[in-house]
Chain A
Amino acid sequence: MGLFKKDYSKKSDEELMSLLTKGGQSAFDELYKRYSKPLLNFFFRMLNNDREKAEDMLHDLFLKIIEKPESFDGNKKFNTWFYTLASNMIKNEYRSRQIRSEHEKQTLANGNELFELNSESFDRKLFDSRLQSELDKFDVETKTIFNLRFTEEMSIRQIAEIMNCPEGTIKSRLFYLTKQLSKKLSVYKPELN
């Protein structure tokens, strides 16, 4: 039987989506294997490390392709289309609730003081918390661009497609964002001072 089993790992995302439209469970399994982890981490970062919410959104995202696989436009890259769905879900989530928690505001307020206590050794956790707080000062689009670029390592072109805006705009926003962040976060790298 193994001889006749299809090797889905060699198929492209787009081919898998085509098979999924015809009801292929194995195609779905392969897509889940490829995208569940990166997308969970994307949601996790975008939702201020709220794992429970990130997992809910991951579930809802994959449910969309189970229920309406035909909504995928075969002329587009699956990767771009899927991240566009994820970004839209994030936007809706931001609209529906104020995502900043009191805890994070507290961290932001006490950031410099905390850093001074740990300045001699780089505290990864603290840096992440501070980074999140700084990112929260930007709008959801800018934050999405940042995560797509630095955590998903997407090209400018892909990000432009996902965000539905020109590449120049993405570059401009990324440049401005990294410049601002580097100013704010330089305190975490003692050798920068």
Chain B
Amino acid sequence: MNMETTSNTDLDKLEEMLHNKMFDELSPADKQWVANRLSEEEYTSMSALYTVLKVQKQSIDIEPHEYIKNKLDKAFAAKASHKGVFRLNIPLYQTAAAAIIFFFVGSGVNVFQPEQTKVIHTTSQVIKYVDRPVKLIQYVKIPVQIKEKQKEKGNKVIQATDNIVNSGIPEFNSEYLRQQEIAMTNINHVLNEQNGSSMGGDTVLQKMLVTVY
């Protein structure tokens, strides 16, 4: 009597009977088949339900309002225009060719441009010695290619202090030379003093410090 457990694959056959025949109209074999699954009362109720549902389906039938389609058409147009902006009709092979040309041209530009040294520190450090020439030390990064070229030319490239080059201040920097001379004069003056003097009263030393710093 229970179709859920006996067989659920017979629904098609049962539905066909429910749609088309009342219980009394079934053949004895069909009645027996149904009786193994449903009572006569259950069959009659289900048959009635199927009939009513068929009628009911036809009775409820609504149409969509026009404004829905209009809204969708606008959305479609917006999508199409958005696609149009980004869609370029350029074949793939042309795009690839352009990319290759661009790559080589870009590489060529780099080949013909001289490599430039890059200053690591923008601030130069000036070291002033009282007994030696004033030097300006500038830290620069020397590319490997240039370094090798310099070696080939016989120029000295400092390896230990990699990327650091010391360069002297040109002699025509008269201000530094003048300060150097003053400093040296003051030192000689102190060295030649017979009696000596205290640090506070040592005006020469003070002058020298002021000059140096």
Contact = CB atoms under 8 A, between A and B. Distances in A.
Interface of A: 23, 25, 28, 32, 36-37, 40-41, 44-45, 49, 51, 54-55, 58-59, 62-63, 66-67, 124, 127-128, 131, 150-151, 153, 156, 168, 171-172, 174-176, 178-179, 181-183, 185-186, 188-189, 191-192
Interface in B163-206: none
B62 interface: yes
Contacts of B68: 36, 55, 58-59, 62
7 contacts: A40-B62, A58-B64, A59-B68, A62-B72, A63-B75, A151-B57, A189-B52
Interface centre among A51, A124, A127, A171 (most CB of B within 10 A): A171
A72 to B, nearest CB: 15
Interface centre among A172, A175, A181 (most CB of B within 10 A): A175
B61 interface: yes
A62 B14 CA distance: 37
Given A32-B69, A182-B42, A55 B76 contact: no
B9 interface: yes
A171 B64 contact: no
Nearest to A52: B65
Given A36-B68, A37-B64, A58-B68, A66 B45 contact: no
A66 B8 contact: no
B76 A150 contact: no
A16 to B, nearest CB: 14
B26 interface: no
Contacts of A131: 56
A41 B49 contact: no
Nearest to B43: A182
B59 A182 contact: no
B137 interface: no
A175 B8 contact: yes
Nearest to B38: A179
Nearest to B71: A59
For the residues of B in contact with A, the DSSP-based class is: helix
Contacts of A128: 56, 59-60
Contacts of B9: 168, 171
B80 interface: yes
Interface string B23-41: 0000000000000001000
B82 to A, nearest CB: 10
B53 interface: yes
B11 interface: yes
Given A41-B60, A178-B46, A23 B53 contact: no
Contact of B45 (A40, A51, A151, A182): A182
Contacts of B76: 25, 28, 66
A127 B50 contact: no
A8 to B, nearest CB: 15
B71 A182 contact: no
B60 A150 contact: no
A182 B53 contact: no
A124 B49 contact: no
B52 A183 contact: no
B46 A156 contact: no
Contacts of B63: 37, 40
Nearest to A153: B57
B11 A175 contact: yes
B16 to A, nearest CB: 13
Contacts of B52: 127, 185, 188-189
A106 B45 CA distance: 25
